[in-house]
Amino acid sequence: MTMEEFAGDLLRRKGLRSTAQRRAVLTALRGHPHSTAADLETRIGTDRAETGGLSRQGLYNVLEDLTKAQLVRCIEPAGSPTRYELRVGDNHHHLVCRRCGRIEDVDCSVGAAPCLTPDDDRGFAVDEAEITWWGLCAECRRATTPR
C-alpha cells in the first residue's frame, strides 16, 4: 500500500473525505515530524496535478481539519512557529534545543496520561500534560565547548 493509499484510508476511517490536499499533507508529514506549515508548503509545492492546488489558507484549513480529527498533532514551543506531527494518540513529550530549534520526541516514563498530577487541580478533570524540556542539543553543545 502506498502512502497516498494509506493516507486515504486513514481519512476515511476518521470520517473525512479523502481529498488530494489532505493526502498531500499527510504524505508530506511522513518522515518529517515537527514540520511547520512553511516546511509543508515547500514539501508539497504547487503541483496542481497532485494537490488540486493548495493555497496557504487551504493548507491551514487542512491542518486544522487533520488536527481536529486527531490524525495530526499540533505542538507550539515558545518562540517557534506551530509544528505538526503524525505521532498522535500516545503520551509523548518534546526536547527543544534553545540554539538551533531542533525538536526530539521523548516517550513518557510513566506511560499513561496525564503523566504528571498537579498539586491542586482546581476542579479540572486533568487528562493530559504537555511537557517540553529546553536545553542545548549535543551538536550545539559540541559547538560551544572550548577545545
The pLDDT assigned to 147 comes to: 67
- Domains of the chain (ranges; CATH) run 3-75 (1.10.10), 90-144 (3.30.1490.190)
81 and 37 Cβ atoms separated by less than 8 Å: yes
Asked if pLDDT for residue 146 goes beyond 90, the answer is no
Q: Which residues of 17-30 are buried (b: 16+ CB within 10 A; e: fewer)?
A: eebbbbbbbbbbbe
- Residue 105 above 60 pLDDT? yes
pLDDT (tens digit per residue) in 115-138 = 777 888 899 998 888 889 999 999
Check pLDDT > 60 for residue 59: yes
Flag whether pLDDT at 61 surpasses 60. Answer: yes
Average pLDDT over residues 74-95: 93
Write down the H helix ranges in 1-147: 3-13, 20-29, 37-44, 48-51, 56-68, 138-144
Of 104, 109, 106, the closest CA to residue 137 belongs to: 104
- Pick the more confident residue, 65 or 146: 65
Q: How confident is the model at residue 15 (pLDDT cuts 50, 70, 90)?
A: very high
Confidence of residue 49 (pLDDT cuts 50, 70, 90): low
Q: What is the mean pLDDT of the chain?
A: 89
Beta-carbon contacts of residue 145 (< 8 Å; ≥ 6 apart): none
pLDDT at 6: 87
- Residue 118: the pLDDT is 83
Q: Which of helix, strand or coil describes residue 8?
A: helix
Cβ count within 10 A of residue 114: 16
- pTM for this model (two decimals): 0.85
C-alpha span between 85 and 15 (Å, rounded): 20
Average pLDDT estimate for 4-17: 92
